[in-house]
Amino acid sequence: MTGPGLDDAVRLLPGYLGLTRLAHGRRLDTWDAWDEERRTRCVVKVLRADRRDDERVRAATRQEGLIVTSLAHPHLVRGLAAFDEPPALVVETLRGATLAAVVDEGPLGVPDVAELGLQLASVLGYLHRHDWLHLDVKPANVVVEHGKAVLIDLSLAGRPGSARPGAGTRGYLAPEQARGHGLTAAADVWGLGITLLECLSGELPYGDEATWDTRRRWPVVHRRLPVAPAVPDGLPADLRDLLVACVAVDPAARPRLDDVRAGLAPLAAEPPPDLGVRR
């Protein structure tokens, strides 16, 4: 069999060779890999050897594999395979840049942000209809290429209800995620709102140190709830009000994804067709 740089490849899983380790995370090693059957590049996420006795982490890895291999959406990373032993998953290689890298180059305009929001609302709504919450919507977990956004990394995804308190990313963490209970679709609306506001300004509306009232056991920075999020100047009033509502501290005050889509559609670079159907 032939492929790029296979002489030095590492056998990760049956049928998959590791080319370069991309990340050494707290739970998973992520590899640029070679799929021997499909003869193409892919990404393999495999549970670290030193975490394989942690049943909670094993279950989370298996769950991510289940989600990406059982669900399919144009704006969701495509899963190719999942493994139980060692717990691992294989997903497609995406050629674009992360949205975080794009925003580092400068803020985006309103039409592009509205189009981005429509695409992310579409995939989040799809996950919600299958009773999954993403729970880590942020620019680093979105890959963009030629105007198409793809949501990646479902390692924190879970069912509505309760979760480990504080699970999430500082600056993007919804208050209810800090508490670890009362999780609903509104938590992903929060992440979407934070992401869109960051795309418009280059800054996190509540600051990157915001951890709300989490009581993690390791040292974290705690801060009071801000009176209101920082919002870029000059936004259309309707958009400003919509995004501020998305990041309301009270989950019940946040709009539904249908309402987010309705508010963004008129502002998008390529507005979706009006089919007279709410989804």
Cβ atoms of 222 and 242 closer than 8 Å: no
Cβ atoms of 188 and 95 closer than 8 Å: no
Mean pLDDT of the region 157-161: 96
**Sheet architecture: strand order including 142-145:** 97-98, 142-145, 148-151
Give the model confidence (pLDDT) of 187-209 as tens digits. Answer: 999 999 999 999 999 998 888 75
Task: Report the share of the chain in percent with pLDDT over 70.
Answer: 88
Local confidence band at 222 (pLDDT 50, 70, 90 cut-offs):
very low
Cβ atoms of 192 and 186 closer than 8 Å: no
Domains of the chain listed by start with CATH number: 6-92 (3.30.200.20), 97-267 (1.10.510.10)
Give the model confidence (pLDDT) of 74-128 as tens digits. Answer: 999 999 999 999 999 999 999 999 999 999 999 999 999 999 999 999 999 999 9
- Cβ–Cβ contacts within 10 Å for residue 239, how many? 21
